[in-house]
Amino acid sequence: MSDEQELGITESKQYNTGEWYAEVVQKAGLANYGPEGMSGFIVTRPRAYALWERVQDHLDSEFKRTGVQNAYFPLFIPEQYLEREKDIVEGFDPEVAWVTHAGQEELDERLAVRPTSESIIAPYMSQWVRSHRDLPLRVNQWASVVRWEATETKPFFRTKEFLWQEGHTAHATDESAWEETMMRLDQYAAMYEDLLAIPVLRGAKPEHDKFPGAKKTTTVEALMPDGKSVQAGTSHHLGTSFAEAFDLYYTDEDEDEQVAHTTSWGLSWRALGALIMTHSDDQGLVLPPTVAPEQVVVVPIWQADTQEKVLDYAESIAEELESDGVRVELDDRDERNPGFKFNEWELKGVPVRFEIGPNEVDDEVVTVVHRPDGESKEVPREDIAETVREEFDEVYAKLYATAEENLAENVREADSRADILGTIGQHGGYVKAPWCGDEDCETEIKDQLAAEIVMVPLRDEEAEIHDGEDCAVCGEDAEETAYFAKSY
């Protein structure tokens, strides 16, 4: 087998999505599986971590701009803390990893490896808040959590430990907590749309699927090309349940004691899974220029008699781009031919390629190739740092348009049980159907097709529910519109 075959992707995205995804993740150098005996854990390689850092940078600056400070809480939560909010215990109990020993000695009280941190953050918030002047209080932590799910490992989509951020806030009023919940949801949606070139739907989780202890869970959902939905970030209005459980009270302007209202919101490295799955193809990884570790690769193409002038020209371009803040790689390896280099950088997802041979030097131009669709054109050498940014915008717009088209074409309506099953079975995507609100009606669909209600519209968008409609599954009066889909 030649190097080029070993390097390339052999699975088909369309016909073998799961295997294709695993191959892209490994061959593009993003992640390795964890050691034997630790299924469900992955090693995040530098190229993937660099993508995570772009997500972090974007969100972190948005959080700080809107009043959030970063903090850090312990990895472990004492069992009695976890038990103080009963819904959290019930909700996470089957997935909690416990520490029972330190060396040979058994601990007096076992410690949970955090599955989420409300139970250790809320009690400290209660120490920090005295009066209404301390509110709103907003902290965020960048951390990892562990949820011991016994499902098949899928790097960045399903792992027992995952990287995320979790924001936690306390407010004087219910209204302020709700506004916070929606602001964070909007920031998540904007991150997907402005940084990752992925359009998302905003909605709420159905009552039976909200975060344990929450009053309302809101979600952004992204549709993958294989027709499955990714829960891409969630923001929870927690009401007063955690504040009551952890004595988070404040004195109001009349010196009366009041219970606080809290929120929490989290986005994980699932964002990377969605990024890889959405844009990549049978040649490998495809990344938008906003997050790509290398935004441009410059590939000089020379013969012995043109080597010097081609390399000088290519170097001057790479230097100019670099000094202008563009992330650029000059691939002047002597031992590899241009075709090999093209394939390798395509596999790694570099969004823009510059091809430079003797003709480009003579004509004072650069041949530009877009990774997503192979579009190729000549642009003037002059003002190249400015031109390349226009190319980045074009590549971004192409990626976004493809994803947006996939979403627009794959939201369908159904008004009967058979119609829901048939439509999802045939096309995947979202199927909107009037729903009575009863979990049993979801279970009927779930049992047959592994599709669930991934969201219902947010309250202010409920205009789309028509009076007199019946639940598509049971025929009782419909209460809301359910979005059924298979999901990651």
Question: Which residue, 261 or 432, has its beta carbon nearer to Zn ion?
Answer: 432
In the complex, the smallest distance separating the C-beta of residue 211 from Zn ion, rounded to whole angstroms, is: 23
Question: Which residue, 266 or 437, has its beta carbon nearer to Zn ion?
Answer: 437
In the complex, the smallest distance separating the C-beta of residue 251 from Zn ion, rounded to whole angstroms, is: 46
In the complex, the smallest distance separating the C-beta of residue 457 from Zn ion, rounded to whole angstroms, is: 17
Distance, in Å, from the CA atom of 211 to the CA atom of 205, rounded to the nearest integer, reads 9
In the complex, the smallest distance separating the C-beta of residue 425 from Zn ion, rounded to whole angstroms, is: 20
In the complex, the smallest distance separating the C-beta of residue 450 from Zn ion, rounded to whole angstroms, is: 19
In the complex, the smallest distance separating the C-beta of residue 415 from Zn ion, rounded to whole angstroms, is: 12
Question: Which residue, 353 or 432, has its beta carbon nearer to Zn ion?
Answer: 432
Question: Which residue, 277 or 482, has its beta carbon nearer to Zn ion?
Answer: 482
What residue ranges bind Zn ion (CB under 5 A)? 436, 438, 441, 471, 473-474
Distance, in Å, from the CA atom of 159 to the CA atom of 149, rounded to the nearest integer, reads 8
Question: Which residue, 94 or 475, has its beta carbon nearer to Zn ion?
Answer: 475
Question: Which residue, 30 or 441, has its beta carbon nearer to Zn ion?
Answer: 441
Question: Which residues neighbour 303 within 8 Å (Cβ) at sequence distance 6 or greater?
Answer: 358
In the complex, the smallest distance separating the C-beta of residue 476 from Zn ion, rounded to whole angstroms, is: 5
Q: Tokens for 184?
A: 């964070």
In the complex, the smallest distance separating the C-beta of residue 460 from Zn ion, rounded to whole angstroms, is: 24
CA nearest neighbour of 328 among 385, 387, 369, 393: 385
In the complex, the smallest distance separating the C-beta of residue 469 from Zn ion, rounded to whole angstroms, is: 11
Question: Which residue, 328 or 471, has its beta carbon nearer to Zn ion?
Answer: 471
In the complex, the smallest distance separating the C-beta of residue 422 from Zn ion, rounded to whole angstroms, is: 18
Question: Which residue, 10 or 448, has its beta carbon nearer to Zn ion?
Answer: 448
Question: Which residue, 232 or 471, has its beta carbon nearer to Zn ion?
Answer: 471
Question: Which residue, 129 or 433, has its beta carbon nearer to Zn ion?
Answer: 433
